[in-house]
Amino acid sequence: MAAAPALKHWRTTLERVEKFVSPLYFTDCNLRGRLFGDSCPVAELSSFLTPERLPYQEAVQQDFRPAQVGDSFGPTWWTCWFRVELTIPDAWVGQEVHLRWESDGEGLVWRDGEPVQGLTKEGEKTSYVLTDKLGEEDPRSLTLYVEVACNGLLGAGKGTMIAAPDPEKMFQVSRAELAVFHRDVHKLLVDLELLLGMAKGLGEDNQRSYQALYTANQMVNVCDPAQPETFPVAQALASKFFGQRGGESQHTIHALGHCHIDTAWLWPFKETVRKCARSWVTVVQLMERNPEFIFACSQAQQLAWVKSHYPGLHARLQEFACRGQFVPVGGTWVEMDGNLPSGEAMVRQFLQGQSFFLQEFGKMCSEFWLPDTFGYSAQLPQIMRSCGIRHFLTQKLSWNLVNSFPHHTFFWEGLDGSRVLAHFPPGDSYGMQGSVEEVLKTVAKNRDKGRTNHSAFLFGFGDGGGGPTQTMVDRLKRLCNTDGLPRVQLSSPERLFSALEGHSGQLCTWVGELFLELHNGTYTTHAQIKKGNRECERILHDVELLSSLALARSAQFLYPAAQLQDLWRLLLLNQFHDVVTGSCIQLVAEEAMCHYEDIRSRGNKLLSTAAAALCAGEPGPEGLLIVNTLPWKRTEVLALPSPGGAHCLGLIPSSGDSAQHGLCSCSHPHLTAAPAAPAACVYSAGASADLASRPPPTKTDGSVTLDNGIIRVKLDPTGRLTSLVLVASGREAIAEGAVGNQFVLFDDVPLYWDAWDVMDYHLETRKPVLGQAGTLAVGTEGGMRGSAWFLLQISPNSRLSQKVVLDIGCPYVRFHTEVHWHEAHKFLKVEFPARVRSPQATFEVQFGHLQRPTHYNTSWDWARFEVWAHRWMDLSEHGFGLALLNDCKYGASVRGSVLSLSLLRAPKSPDATVDMGRHEFTYALMPHEGSFQDAGVIPAAYSLNFPLLALPAPGLAPAAAWSAFSVSSPAVVLETVKQAETSLQGRKLVLRLYEAHGSHVDCWLRTSLPVQEAVLCDLLERRDPAGPLPLRNNRLKLTFSPFQVQSLLLVLQPAPS
Ligand SMILES: [Zn+2]
């Protein structure tokens, strides 16, 4: 026994222990230096380099060339396959033998044709256990393959992590050898590091801290690294210390293995497939070695990839899921963005996700898992509850730049009043390492101390995958119950949430959205992705509706269920939280655009097929099938194809028809209905364009007035809006002395997260873009549409052209905009100062809307200087308001009386090319009397986003207009009509409706379809046990509360044969 410590110096004692375990200092004589014993080089190393991501079977057939340690390979995104021939020395019998492998890039070891472990220096996985104990009879020689991807865990950024990837990066293998591993040394190292962690973390005024320090010091005293026979004494000291238990009141930490894998981000989708394999195969190994270790795994898409690319691994995951060690969580197809996807798309995330989890793992998830998303819609609680989920986990709000979120465990109440139990791991991370510091932080930072005594602790390398290591598991196991620290359990999400539920009586409630006070640029970055998202949501909506109608009306029609599932899954994939947000590299953006193109082209084909089915068998003239896919009557000017290839305008429907969620035919391709009075007319001051029925104006100042009898729009000679008047009341919507349609440019230089962040201070750099007089041109088309057109030079490099359009009968004026955008770190917005005063503005969100302040009173108010909205926002005072609609934008703000729509950004990281080039988008302005609800802002925004369809009718189109569904209340929107998932190829439809005004309402749904039975169902399309609803004369009564979403299952009568 060594002498008792004589001195009391804290620092020297602490640093002495640190040096004893240091990987940097004194490794010639310290304990760390003894972790590995004898070593020998691998017998033979050869390699094969390829730009492709080949399957194993194909790769191993290739021509491998001799290689050696020190070789470099690359460049970025290539793959180097190494064949590693091993011969273990006979002298190592009885020892634990590892392959030590260190290289840049991400490696995967293959043994006997199956992946067995990830090898990634960044993820602290540099050694593969060949045998725990080499037996006399064990084979000494074997061949392994190591597949090394030429990218790091976090891609290949040039210089900094989020810089655009360096395509020329080269990679190197720096170690490939066999070595004897000393498990007893490893255990001592884990103990000493934990003791050091306690000594430092508990601090010099804590008794237990000194006990930890002196225990560690004593261990160093008794332990001679060169003499393994001294180790047990040191180990006994540690065991005695860690065996001293905490009290009954100790906080409990639920340690959950996790591995956040971004479905695409700084690497392409295809690399994610391999990241999943590398990470999860390592997890399988950990689950085998540690039966108490539990791993929570989200994102059905990733599991689906593994199922198709690595079926053997998938089978193992299923096996461990049965044992309760591998726990699928989240319930969604991918961890989607929480702001931008439509309500229906969010529903589909769960519908696709939960059905996959049920099919592959025998049960659905009971918690929504979204640790890393940039804000959370106020409709999520309702969607979760209706998808069988009552629990929610995230941590991202800890990134708030301004306000610190006040809870870690709380009830989250959504827009409609639905509640879920929410938990944010108080350690503010989803990638813990199992250190004492993190354990202490989890307890110290918990903002619900005294209300709940349980917390989650997610450990494992994340973002780019990697996952937990054996060392992390060893640390956490050692801390199961030690005085001075919280209790640590290797736990499951289910155990965590049931423990939290046990304390829920004292929890607080947060109502409304969980707004992230950071990453607000992601509402705007990558405009083409945003546009693809909005457009494809529309296409899938229309395809489902038309296909459902065709199914109902035609015995021969086959609903394209499988194709629609494919297309939905592509759209859902693109809604991943680093794709639709625009925070990905160029490679990913290109792939995402291909996905959208796929949805467009296949979706449009499906539309034509459904249209053809609807036309078959009905008497009527050939021509066009005009389809209104919205659930209310519409009268709109529509561009129709004419024989010469040009378009001409028609007013749809012609008098007498009603296009109401259904069809009307158009017997002649260039229909021109006589417009109902008043006609659109255009005044052009100083120009000769006199195309209206009214006399030309007399003004000579170059301004233009568009007037359709509903609104009167006045533009100055540079295209700015000087006046917008509701004709009937004469009420002016533009603020006195101000101009609308004012483009403004801001400097947009964030602190770090370029594609993600727009900072508050950008507002201080506002510069109006001033146009030149005389660029305004005017036109009218067919007496139905008035327009004015102008050019605007935004900067020396960027220009904009805009067509301001007013149709007869239309309550809003549209601004069709084309921009050629070539900027760096600039932000383009358009502003509309309104003659409206209100402390709050309204923004559309999923299945509803919410209010946000128009002032900067408190830090919570000004932190929302840039917010998101879907198709419309509105600023109203009593009796009057102004709504701003859009067809593909999401970033917005209302400050004071100024409505502002965010149009284009120009960040350079991680995609240096993002948003450069040509853009097209439309926004519209709608002044209104009364409330926006009563004035029809919501249907107007739908109309802008869902144009009437004019589809070629190859056969005979229905002779008369025909409507499939109508809803008696304007407050209720019939959002979705689709075939039921559970009855593929069956005659069952699902209808989704929601209350959009924020009111309690009873309404009647009427249908002309042959409905046999109607029953309410949840979002996963499970029947309401209360049974069928009374159905009389094809009418159903439905009762809604504010923003409630309801789904209906309609069983159709058998098709007429
Ligand atoms: Zn992420």
What is the Cα–Cα distance from 515 to 376, expressed in whole angstroms? 6
Q: 941 near 978, Cβ under 8 Å?
A: no
Q: What DSSP string describes 527-568? A: HHHHHHHHHHHHHHHHHHHHHHHHHHH-SSPPP-HHHHHHHH
Question: Looking at residues 38-63, what average pLDDT do you find?
Answer: 98
Cβ-based neighbours of 413, under 8 Å, separated by 6 or more: 381, 419, 509, 510, 511, 512
Question: pLDDT at position 60, please?
Answer: 97
Structure tokens at 1012: 């046999």
Q: 169 near 74, Cβ under 8 Å?
A: yes
Identify how many contiguous H helices and E strands the chain contains and give both numbers: 19, 54
What is the Cα–Cα distance from 529 to 576, expressed in whole angstroms? 12
Structure tokens at 928: 């209104």
- Helix ranges (H only) for 338-454 are 343-361, 380-385, 436-444
Alpha carbon separation from 1012 to 1009, 1029, 1050 (Å, rounded): 9, 11, 7
What is the Cα–Cα distance from 479 to 715, expressed in whole angstroms? 71
SS3 content of the chain, % helix, strand, coil (to 5): 25, 35, 40
Cβ-based neighbours of 878, under 8 Å, separated by 6 or more: none
Tell whether the model's pLDDT for residue 740 goes beyond 80: yes
Question: Looking at residues 1018-1041, what average pLDDT do you find?
Answer: 95
What is the Cα–Cα distance from 323 to 330, expressed in whole angstroms? 19
Read off the pLDDT band of 667 (50, 70, 90): very low
Q: pTM of the full predicted structure?
A: 0.95
Write out pLDDT tens, residues 852-881: 999 999 999 999 999 999 999 999 999 999
Half-sphere exposure of 893 (CA within 13 A, CB side): 24
To the nearest 10°, the Cα dihedral for 900, 902, 904, 908?
120
Give 581 Cα–ligand 1 centroid separation in angstroms. 11
- Backbone φ and ψ of 324, nearest 5°: 80, 10
Question: pLDDT at position 700, please?
Answer: 65
Question: Looking at residues 207-232, what average pLDDT do you find?
Answer: 97
Give 335 Cα–ligand 1 centroid separation in angstroms. 8
Residue 874, beta-bridge partner list = 842, 883
Place of tokens 């229906």: 344
Sign of the torsion angle spanned by Cα atoms 197, 198, 199, 201: positive
Question: Looking at residues 608-612, what average pLDDT do you find?
Answer: 90
Write out pLDDT tens, residues 763-798: 999 999 998 877 788 887 767 889 999 999 999 999
> CA angle, corner 801, sides to 938 and 341, nearest 5?
35
Give 395 Cα–ligand 1 centroid separation in angstroms. 11
Write out pLDDT tens, residues 306-359: 999 999 999 999 999 999 999 999 999 999 999 999 999 999 999 999 999 999
Give 337 Cα–ligand 1 centroid separation in angstroms. 10
C-alpha 827: how far from its chain's center? Answer: 23
- Secondary element (H or E) of residue 100: strand 96-103
CB atoms within 10 A of CB 57: 8
To the nearest 10°, the Cα dihedral for 752, 755, 756, 761?
60
The one-letter code for the residue type at 22 is S
Among residues 55, 109, 139, which one has the least CA distance to residue 285?
Answer: 109
Q: Is 127 helix (H, G, I), strand (E, B) or coil?
A: strand
Question: pLDDT at position 665, please?
Answer: 43
Give 460 Cα–ligand 1 centroid separation in angstroms. 14
Sign of the torsion angle spanned by Cα atoms 502, 508, 510, 515: negative
Question: pLDDT at position 5, please?
Answer: 57
Cis geometry, peptide bond prior to residue 768 (ω within 30 degrees of 0): no
> CA angle, corner 579, sides to 578 and 580, nearest 5?
110
Write out pLDDT tens, residues 431-458: 999 999 999 999 999 999 999 999 999 9
What does the mean pLDDT of the chain come to? 92
Among residues 274, 368, 359, 282, which one has the least CA distance to residue 326?
Answer: 282
To the nearest 10°, the Cα dihedral for 293, 299, 305, 306?
0
Question: pLDDT at position 776, please?
Answer: 81
Q: Is 926 helix (H, G, I), strand (E, B) or coil?
A: strand
What is the Cα–Cα distance from 960 to 67, expressed in whole angstroms? 76
Give 128 Cα–ligand 1 centroid separation in angstroms. 28
Question: pLDDT at position 64, please?
Answer: 98
What is the Cα–Cα distance from 677 to 809, expressed in whole angstroms? 9
> CA angle, corner 1053, sides to 1047 and 1055, nearest 5?
120
Scored b (16 or more CB within 10 A) or e, 618-640 reads bebeebbbbbbbbbbebbbbbbb
Structure tokens at 647: 């378009």
CB atoms within 10 A of CB 52: 11
What is the Cα–Cα distance from 875 to 831, expressed in whole angstroms? 13
What is the Cα–Cα distance from 166 to 168, expressed in whole angstroms? 6
Give 464 Cα–ligand 1 centroid separation in angstroms. 8
Place of tokens 């305004």: 776
Question: pLDDT at position 121, please?
Answer: 94
Tell whether the model's pLDDT for residue 489 goes beyond 90: yes
Give 438 Cα–ligand 1 centroid separation in angstroms. 20
Question: Looking at residues 22-48, what average pLDDT do you find?
Answer: 97
Question: Looking at residues 170-181, what average pLDDT do you find?
Answer: 98
Q: 216 near 452, Cβ under 8 Å?
A: no
- Secondary element (H or E) of residue 501: helix 493-502
Give 519 Cα–ligand 1 centroid separation in angstroms. 13
- Secondary element (H or E) of residue 6: none
Read off the pLDDT band of 985 (50, 70, 90): low
Q: Sort residue 927 into left (φ over 0), alpha (ψ -120 to 50) or beta.
A: beta
Structure tokens at 109: 């070891």
Q: Which has more pLDDT, 231 or 694?
A: 231
- Known catalytic residues are 372
Q: The sheet that has 409-413: what strands, in order across it?
A: 367-369, 391-393, 419-423, 409-413, 509-511
Half-sphere exposure of 857 (CA within 13 A, CB side): 6
Place of tokens 């730009």: 51
Share of the chain above pLDDT 90, in %: 85
Give 326 Cα–ligand 1 centroid separation in angstroms. 20
Read off the pLDDT band of 649 (50, 70, 90): low
What is the Cα–Cα distance from 723 to 720, expressed in whole angstroms? 9
Structure tokens at 395: 């941590």
Question: pLDDT at position 579, please?
Answer: 98
Q: Is 303 helix (H, G, I), strand (E, B) or coil?
A: helix
Question: pLDDT at position 308, please?
Answer: 97
**From 4-18, 29-43, 742-756, the region with the lowest mean pLDDT:** 4-18
Give 370 Cα–ligand 1 centroid separation in angstroms. 9
Among residues 151, 37, 42, 27, which one has the least CA distance to residue 88?
Answer: 42
Give 226 Cα–ligand 1 centroid separation in angstroms. 45
Read off the pLDDT band of 7 (50, 70, 90): confident
**From 690-694, 751-755, 810-814, 901-905, the region with the lowest mean pLDDT:** 690-694
Give 698 Cα–ligand 1 centroid separation in angstroms. 60
Give 753 Cα–ligand 1 centroid separation in angstroms. 14
Q: 762 near 773, Cβ under 8 Å?
A: no
Give 463 Cα–ligand 1 centroid separation in angstroms. 5
Read off the pLDDT band of 1056 (50, 70, 90): low
Give 373 Cα–ligand 1 centroid separation in angstroms. 7
